[in-house]
C-alpha cells in the first residue's frame, strides 16, 4: 500500500515546498535577523515547512484524482503515479487522504495566525484556493497557459514572504530578492512537466503554456529563466547587497541546463521524465546553497 501511495504524492515536486521556506528564512536572517529571537523563528519556520509540504502533498493527490476523473491519465505512460488507473488505490481512499491531511496545514495555520499575524489566514486561504483551482473547478488552471505563474506565486512567492514575515514581523521590499527567483524556479518545475506532457495534453484539449508558445519557445523561456536567476544573484552581489558566498547557488547550473538539454534532445517520454528530476534538483540546490551562502556570509 505504501509503495502505491508514495508516488501519488509526486515526491519530486516537494522540492517546491522546501526551497522557498529555507531561502525565505536564510535571507531574513542574513538581512534583518530575528525580531522575536532566532530559536522561535526557526521553530516557526519548521512549522511553515510542515504546513507547506503537507498542503503540497494534498494538492498532488488532488491533481492525481482530478486527472483520473477527467480521463487525462488514461493511456499516459509517465507523469502520473498509475496507482488509481491500475486499481491499486481507490479514488475514495484518495479523497479520504486529502481530507485527513488537510487538517495539518489548517491547524498549523491557525496557530501561526494566532501567534504572529491573522493576515496569515487570507494568505493561506489564497494559496489553498490556487492549489484547488489548479486541478479543480470548472476550468482548471493546469489546462491553461497560467499554470506556471499561479503555482510559482502560491508555492514560491507566497512562501518566501510568509516565512520572511515570521522572522522580521515586517513585509520589506527586500524580500523580493529571494521571492522572485523562487517564483521562477517553481514555475520552471511546472514548465518542465508541461513540456514533457505536451503531446498527451494536446490530445486532451489542454492549452498549457508550452502548447500556446510552442515547444521551442517554451524551451527558450526556460533557458532565459535560468539565466535570469543566476544573473539576479550576481547583480545583487556586485551592487553590494549580497555576500559573495551567495555564488554557492551557481552549483545548480549543471542540473538546470541539463534539464534544458534533455528536453531539447530527447523525444521518448521516459527519457523526458528524467528532466523532472533534474529541474527539481536544480531548484532545490539553487535555493539551499544560496541559503547556506547567506548564513555563512552573515
Mean pLDDT of 48-71: 81
Q: Which residue has the higher pLDDT, 211 or 200?
A: 211
Matching residue, cell 514548465: 191
Q: What is the largest CA-CA distance in the chain?
A: 57
**Does 229 have pLDDT greater than 80?**
yes
Please give the model's pTM, rounded to 2 decimal places.
0.89
Instruction: For residue range 10-30, list pLDDT tens digits in order.
Output: 776 676 778 999 999 999 999
Residue 289 Rama label (left phi>0; alpha psi -120 to 50; beta): alpha
Q: Can you tell me whether residue 102 is helix, strand or coil?
A: coil
In this structure, what C-alpha cell is assigned to residue 92? 475514495
SS3 sequence, 201-238? Answer: HHHCCCCCHHHHHCHHHHHHHHHHHHHHHHHHHHHHHH
User: What pLDDT, on the 0 to 100 scale, is given for residue 209?
Assistant: 94
Mean pLDDT throughout 126-145?
Answer: 83
Instruction: Give the pLDDT confidence score for residue 78 in this predicted structure.
Output: 47
Rg of the chain, C-alpha, whole Å = 19
Q: Of 20-29, 37-46, 60-69, which gets the smallest average pLDDT? A: 60-69
The pLDDT tens digits of the residues spanning 151-183 come to: 999 999 999 999 999 999 999 999 999 999 999
Q: Please name which of 134, 152, 133 lies closest in space to residue 192, comparing C-alpha atoms.
A: 152
What pLDDT sits at residue 72? 56
Is there a contact between 117 and 124 (Cβ–Cβ < 8 Å)? no
35 in helix, strand or coil?
Answer: coil
Give the per-residue pLDDT at 87: 59
Q: Mean pLDDT across the stretch 84-89?
A: 65
Q: What is the pLDDT, as a whole number, of residue 228?
A: 97
Position 286 pLDDT exceeds 80: yes
What is the rounded distance in angstroms from the CA atom of residue 28 to the CA atom of residue 294? 9
Alpha carbons 286 and 250: distance in angstroms, whole number: 7
Say whether 149 sits in a helix, a strand or coil.
Answer: helix
d(Cα 187, Cα 134) in Å, to the nearest integer?
13
pLDDT class of 88 with cuts at 50, 70, 90: low
C-alpha of 142 from chain center? 14
Give the model's confidence band at 2: pLDDT under 50 very low, under 70 low, under 90 confident, else very high: low
**Cell triple for residue 91?**
479514488
Alpha-carbon distances, residue 4 vs 10, 75, 84, 88, 278 (angstroms): 11, 18, 9, 7, 23
The length of the chain, given as a count of residues:
298
For residue 32, what is its C-alpha cell? 534583518
Rounded CA-CA distance 49/173 in Å is 22
Q: Note the pLDDT tens digit of each residue in 192-201.
A: 989 988 888 8
For residue 75, pLDDT over 60 is answered with: no
pLDDT mean across residues, the chain: 88
Region 205-210: mean pLDDT is 90
Amino acid at each position: 500500500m505504501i509503495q502505491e501511495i508514495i508516488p501519488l504524492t509526486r515526491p519530486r515536486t516537494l522540492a517546491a515546498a522546501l526551497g522557498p521556506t529555507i531561502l525565505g528564512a536564510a535571507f531574513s536572517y542574513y538581512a534583518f535577523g530575528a525580531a522575536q529571537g532566532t530559536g522561535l523563528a526557526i521553530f516557526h519556520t519548521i512549522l511553515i515547512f510542515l504546513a507547506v509540504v503537507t498542503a503540497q502533498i494534498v494538492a498532488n493527490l488532488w491533481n492525481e484524482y482530478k486527472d483520473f476523473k477527467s480521463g487525462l491519465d488514461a493511456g499516459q505512460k509517465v507523469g502520473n503515479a498509475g496507482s488509481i488507473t491500475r486499481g491499486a488505490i481507490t479514488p475514495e481512499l484518495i479523497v479520504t487522504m486529502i481530507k485527513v491531511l488537510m487538517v495539518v496545514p489548517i491547524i498549523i495555520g491557525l496557530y501561526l495566525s494566532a501567534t504572529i499575524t491573522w493576515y496569515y489566514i487570507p494568505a493561506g486561504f489564497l494559496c489553498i484556493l490556487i492549489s484547488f483551482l489548479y486541478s479543480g473547478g470548472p476550468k482548471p488552471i493546469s489546462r491553461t497557459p497560467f499554470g506556471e505563474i499561479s503555482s510559482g506565486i502560491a508555492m514560491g512567492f507566497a512562501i518566501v514572504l510568509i516565512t520572511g514575515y515570521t522572522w522580521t514581523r515586517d513585509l520589506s521590499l527586500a524580500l523580493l530578492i529571494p521571492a522572485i527567483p523562487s517564483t521562477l524556479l517553481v514555475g520552471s518545475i511546472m514548465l518542465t512537466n508541461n513540456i514533457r506532457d505536451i503531446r498527451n495534453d494536446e490530445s486532451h484539449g489542454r492549452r498549457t503554456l508550452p502548447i500556446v508558445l510552442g515547444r521551442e519557445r517554451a524551451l527558450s523561456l526556460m533557458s532565459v529563466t535560468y539565466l535570469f536567476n543566476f544573473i539576479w544573484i550576481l547583480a545583487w552581489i556586485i551592487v553590494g547587497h549580497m555576500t559573495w558566498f551567495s555564488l554557492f547557488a551557481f552549483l545548480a547550473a549543471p542540473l538546470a541546463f541539463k534539464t534544458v538539454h534533455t528536453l531539447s534532445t530527447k523525444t521518448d517520454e521516459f527519457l523526458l521524465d528524467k528532466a523532472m528530476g533534474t529541474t527539481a534538483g536544480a531548484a532545490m540546490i539553487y535555493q539551499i546553497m544560496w541559503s547556506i551562502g547567506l548564513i555563512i556570509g552573515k
